[in-house]
Structure 1
Amino acid sequence: MGSCGTVRSSIMVCVPLMGSSVKEMMSQMGLAKSQGADMVEIRLDYIQKFQPLQDLQMLLRDKPLPVIIVYRPKWEGGQYEGDEQRRLEALKLAMELGADYIDVELKVVSDLMLNPNLNKHSIGKIIVSCHVGDHTPSKEDLSILVAKMHSTGADVIKLVTHASNITDLATIFHLLAHCEVPLIAYSTGDRGLISHLLCPKFGGFLVYGSMGNNSIPGLPTLNSLRQAYKLECLNANTKVFGLISNPVGHSKGPLLHNPAFRHVGYNGIYVPMLVDNLKEFFRIYSSPDIAGFSVGIPYKEAVTGFCDEVHPLAESIGAVNTIIRTPSTGKLVGYNTDCEAAITAMEDALGARRSINGASFTSPLAGKQFVLAGAGGAGRALAFGAKTRGARIIIFDIDYERARSLAHSVSGEAQPYEDIVKFRPEKGGILANATPLGMHPNTDRIPVAEDTLGVYRLVFDSVYNPRKTRLLKEAEAAGAVVVSGVEMFLRQAISQFNLFTDGEAPEEFMREIIWEKF
């Protein structure tokens, strides 16, 4: 699978456990160890009818992993509503019984620290934590807060904010990179995901990963941290590549690019970036550490306006799916790897014979009717690719003016989207779906009338999750050659990888991953 190189991160992966009984907690602890966790965080406030002495002895006596004990009160987002003194006594007891860490809230840490017996029998350490409501404070306010937490004598500081926008996370990264005490810092919510994934690059103390059915918005799974991302391979020099999209959760890019980086020994990480505002995003994330981007729905066209330069093919298409930050100048250069990926996948499926010596090549798409559903970024790439091969293009899009504009650019024809269900194609033509119809989880829809599918010679679907969409299943049953979006995805990713690394993609290795993971 390729190695991390010599400089590895010392980052620990911690799994929060929220079992309702001691028995359940112990079972989860064993599972966490078997799945590769370095540490567990036991939430005492989730245990029903918690008996401090009896339960803590059981939990800590034969613990298979280092343990952080948390007993979170309601006023800090937890479940505990009882007597405050009793709660603090339970934390002290956990320390005495061998907890590696106890987590104490900033508001009450002075009450705990005043206890003269706290550290007498213990080698455990204190994490002082603070959860900052429903927002991310400014860099200045967070620095003041960290200084206040540091002054308590904490061994480790833990700071949790909420990300309403991915741009909020830049403050967290700045904090992690400049803090002089061990720091756990991350943001909650769907937009907070990369605060966990990039934590080792900026020097964080540990990262959280969820396990089993206990999924938490914005928290990566333990499995993804160990398999796809392998955070132990990250260090300060790791180059970051992100997928700019909204939504972004469907993407399989991290499952492909990260193992491929490691396979060739390239120090990079590829992460999903849920972006709401392109202008703000590019203003905030201008660091040379962020070396490039993939671009997904719905930004492939709009993102061209944020590139300093656009490759001629991408410029003619009017859509960019790959951006590289030039190391010497920091300029953003936009490319389109979708176009050739989709068209060559179709040609190869039709048995195209390409010349090796540069002799003329006649595409099997030449002269064929090319029916395109969708005139967005992916649709534009398909239309321009089909035009270069001499196809006759008919475009349907929910935005008729957008379809008309694209048709004009490729000397094609636009028709109203509602007419696609009654459209009768020429026999032997090509159908290409460049809409999200059929994408997981709404997998039951197709863009055209089912009884027309047998008329086409080839049906292509840009959707790659699921691998074989309903459209492709119905088309195959009707006798058409079918090409999955997975093939386009793989080919465009190979070209992207070459641009990202300025090297050669491990094509066979990437194809193996596709077969295994999709």
Structure 2
Amino acid sequence: MAVNVVLSLTSGSVGEALSLIDRYASYCQGIELRADCLASLSCEDISAVSARAKELGLFSILTLRHERDGGFFHASYKEHDRVLSELVSCCSFDFVDVEEWASDSIVSLARSNGSRVIRSAHFFSSMPSDIVSYVEALAAMGDVPKLACMLSSSADFSFFTDSAMQLKSSLSGDYILVGMGEYGFPSRVLASIMGSFITFSSVGTVSAAPGHVSPDVLYSLYRVPSINEGTSIFGIIGNPVLHSMSPGIHNPIFAEKGLDAVYIPFCVDSLEEFFSVADRLNIKGVSVTIPHKQAVIPFLDSCADVVSAVGACNTVVRRGSSWWGTNTDVYGFWSPLEDVLSVSTLASGRRATVIGAGGAARSVVYALVKNGFDVLILNRTVEKAASLAADFSCEYAALDESSCALISSYRSVIVQTTSLGMGNNCVNPLAFYDLQGDEICYDIVYIPKMTPFLSFAEKKGCRIITGDLMLKAQAIEQSRLFCELV
């Protein structure tokens, strides 16, 4: 069953809503007018919205969402019913969305005017203990049932997925099932797999619900309308993960190669729950990011030697009924550096300084040592630097002014591997050291692209390597493995 992408219009004016319909019509199959978001309610104006949708071949949904159900209509239930009745009487929409507590008179009025009724229920703090029975009870009212639940964990997503699979077998008519929030995002992309005939999207400053993205993202990046039971599912697991750039790398590769595959971010707080649901959804492979690169290893049936060497895994794929892991971060790090090395004269020979001693640093140190570099490891917690140095027979020191002389003898390549270049921690961890200008400076942070460390290095005349190059290189190697499984 093909799913319909619906644009929820949360504009404050009908004029803006009409503009958005025109802009996004090619990316969706329907629109939902959230009348509760409008500054004023005019039957003439609201009718113009459904008319414009019809002109463009889109079906239309009228919704006046009460604050009790996450909407912006703040009056009493009685006033809600009065206003919605008035709108239903004077406007023609294909669907009218009513809360499960709506009066029978509104339901009868909508039906008599030729609209199908969506009977909706929203759970923002918990889920029904029995989703299947709840949706079946809504369906028994003779309407299209809609259940939207906030998912707050991997266990919630697993339960939600199981319920969706059961509903596909027990319900013969249309229904709408939505998992809200970061943990629920995969359900929006995999709506057809979940059996839902609609997935919602929104644009602008007011999101219609937690987890919405714009319709062009669902349509063009994730190719949601074409996802079916035969689509190969891949993704990235982490926490948090919706910020990841990886879907924007892998999905275009699938599209360019004409492969029936999709790559989705999965927020994961329990690897055990994730791998359980991965079996039920037949997920074929995943990228692994913070904080699971080490923790995922016990869930593998086998792995490449590099995983054991660096103690981290960033790529997991199915091999038959087993999970096999590898680490493409090593290749991703080395590939851009190798390109620069091929045209560079090294200031102090094949010697490098690595800032940081975490999981990312392990991959970097491994790649450097494997390719003939002597390495100095700097870290604020010296004990961690010492531990990593012992594993790879490297030198180590504290990340402060006392190490300047050592850095000078390991300055051909300087690699920044910590989180100090991103977000609220956006600082240059090597600010105390005076770069000479002939160093190769590499920061594996990719948001922002120009970190304080790289900006400082560029001003000094150093060659710089940005973290997005590593991201792309490791993703291309991952993609090679993923595409073999489609």
TM-score, structure 1 length as denominator?
A: 0.84
Q: Is the 8 A contact 1:162 1:189 kept in 2?
A: yes
Task: Give the aligned length.
Answer: 476
Alignment correspondent of 2:240:
247
Alignment of 1:199 with 2:191, yes or no, is yes
- Superposed CA deviations along residues 73-114 of structure 1, whole A, max 9, x for unmatched, are 23322232445455335445544532010001122354544x
Partner of 2:134: 145
Q: 457, 461, 464: which is aligned to 1:479?
A: 461
Structure 1, 78-87 or 399-408: larger mean CA deviation: 78-87
Matches within 5 A, 1:89-104: 89-96=82-89, 97-104=91-98
Tell me if structure 2 keeps the 8 A contact 1:130–1:158: yes
Q: 1:106 aligns with which of 100, 111, 115?
A: 100
The alignment partner of 1:385 has SS state of helix
Of residues 68, 71, 76, the one that matches 1:78 is 71
- Which deviations, in whole Å up to 9, do the C-alpha atoms of 1:352-400 show, x marking residues without a partner? 79xxxxxxxxx97996222111222221111111111221111123443
Displacement after TM superposition at 1:442 (Å): 4.3
> Out of 395, 413, 416, which is 1:433 matched to?
416
Shift, 1:472, TM fit = 2.1
Is the 8 Å Cα contact of residues 246 and 298 (structure 1) preserved in structure 2?
yes
Q: Is 1:315 aligned to 2:304, yes or no?
A: no
SS in 1 for 2:312: coil
Q: Give, in angstroms, the shift of residue 56 of structure 1.
A: 3.7
% identical aligned pairs:
28
Report the equivalent of 1:60. Answer: 50
- The residue that corresponds to 2:434 in the other structure is 452
256-265 or 41-50, larger mean C-alpha shift: 41-50
Q: How many angstroms does 1:152 deviate by? A: 0.0
In 2, Cα distance between equivalents of 1:119 and 1:389: 72
Q: CA deviation at 1:275?
A: 1.9
The answer as to whether partners of 1:196 and 1:220 remain within 8 angstroms in 2 is no
The equivalent of 2:180 in structure 1 is 188
SS of 2:313's equivalent in the other structure is coil
Alignment correspondent of 2:224: 231
1:158 is matched with: 146
Are 1:465 and 2:458 counterparts?
no
Do the aligned partners of 1:294 and 1:321 also contact (CA within 8 Å) in 2? yes
Cross-structure match for 2:156: 168
The answer to whether the 8 Å contact 2:443/2:467 transfers is yes
Q: What letter is aligned with 1:199?
A: A
The partner residue of 2:470 within 467, 471, 488 is 488
Q: Residues 109 and 152 of structure 1 are in contact (CA less than 8 Å); yes or no, is this contact kept in structure 2?
A: no
* SS class of match (2:161): helix
Describe how 1:395-406 pairs up with structure 2 within 5 A: 395-406=377-388
Mark the runs of 5 or more structure 1 residues left unpaired by the alignment: 1-8, 354-362, 505-518
> SS of the counterpart of 1:287?
helix
What are the equivalent positions in structure 2 for 1:271-350 lying under 5 Å apart?
271-287=264-280, 289-326=282-319, 328-329=320-321, 331-350=322-341
Instruction: Provide Cα deviations, 1:277-321, integer angstroms capped at 9, x if missing partner.
Output: 333333443336111111112222222222221211111111111
- The letter of the residue matching 2:159 is T
Q: 1:279/1:503 Cα in 2 relative to 1: closer, same or farther (>3 Å)?
A: closer
How far apart are 1:450 and its partner, in Å? 6.0
- State the distance in 1 between where 2:19 and 2:434 align: 55
- Separation of aligned partners in 2, 1:50 and 1:420: 69
Distance verdict in 2 for CA 1:56–1:209, change over 3 Å: closer
Task: Using the TM superposition, give the Cα deviation of residue 57 of structure 1 relative to its aligned residue in structure 2, in angstroms.
Answer: 3.6
Q: Secondary structure at the match of 1:299?
A: coil
1:270 positional shift = 0.9
Question: How many angstroms apart in 2 are the aligned matches of 1:401 and 1:428?
Answer: 22
**Residues 427, 456 of structure 1: 8 Å contact kept:** no
Q: Is the CA contact (8 Å cut-off) linking 1:314 and 1:335 kept in structure 2?
A: yes
> What is the SS of the residue equivalent to 2:97?
strand
Across the aligned residues of Structure 1 and Structure 2, the Cα RMSD in angstroms comes to 2.8
Which deviations, in whole Å up to 9, do the C-alpha atoms of 1:408-452 show, x marking residues without a partner?
Answer: 11001222344588564227521111112223x448422212653
Counterpart Cα distance in 1 of 2:19 and 2:219 = 20
The one-letter amino acid of 2:369's match is K
> Structure 1 residue 38 and structure 2 residue 49: aligned?
no
Q: Work out whether residues 297 and 312 of structure 2, in 8 Å CA contact, stay in contact via their aligned partners in 1.
A: yes
Pick one of 107, 117, 128 that aligns with 1:126. 117
The one-letter code matched in structure 2 to 1:430 is: V
**Residue 340 (structure 1) shift:** 2.2
Change (3 A) 1:399 1:335: farther
Write the distance in 1 (CA, Å) between the matches of 2:118 and 2:351: 66
Q: What amino acid maps onto 1:108 in structure 2? A: A
Return the offset for 1:323.
Answer: 0.6
Instruction: Give the whole-Å Cα distance in 2 for the aligned partners of 1:276 and 1:421.
Output: 38
**Kindly tell me: are residues 69 and 118 of structure 1, through their superposed partners in 2, closer, same or farther at Cα, counting changes over 3 Å?**
closer
Cα distance, 1:308–1:137 mapped onto 2, change above 3 Å: farther
**Higher helix fraction: Structure 1 or Structure 2?**
2
Match of 1:413 among 392, 395, 400: 395
Does the Cα contact within 8 Å between 2:419 and 2:425 map onto a contact in 1? no
1:371 is paired with a residue whose SS is strand
Does the Cα contact within 8 Å between 1:375 and 1:403 map onto a contact in 2?
yes
* Aligned CA distance change for structure 1 residues 239 and 27 (closer, same or farther; 3 Å): same
Q: 1:471 to 1:249 in 2, by over 3 A?
A: farther
1:188 to partner: Cα distance: 1.9
Which digits, 9 at most, give the CA deviation of each residue in 1:227-260, with x for residues without a partner?
3212123111112212112232332111110010
Q: Aligned pair in 2 of structure 1 residues 422, 367: CA closer, same or farther (>3 Å)?
A: closer
What TM-score do you get using the length of structure 2 for normalisation? 0.89
Q: Which amino acid aligns with 1:348?
A: D
In 2, distance between residues paired with 1:283 and 1:10?
26
**Counterpart amino acid of residue 50 in structure 2:** L
Is 1:13 matched with 2:36? no
Q: How far apart in 2 are the matches of 1:500 and 1:153?
A: 44
Which secondary structure does the structure 1 equivalent of 2:264 belong to?
Answer: strand
- 455-464 or 251-260, larger mean C-alpha shift: 455-464
- In 2, the alpha carbon distance for the partners of 1:188 and 1:437 equals 31
One-letter identity of the residue aligned with 1:351: S
Correspondence for 2:258: 265
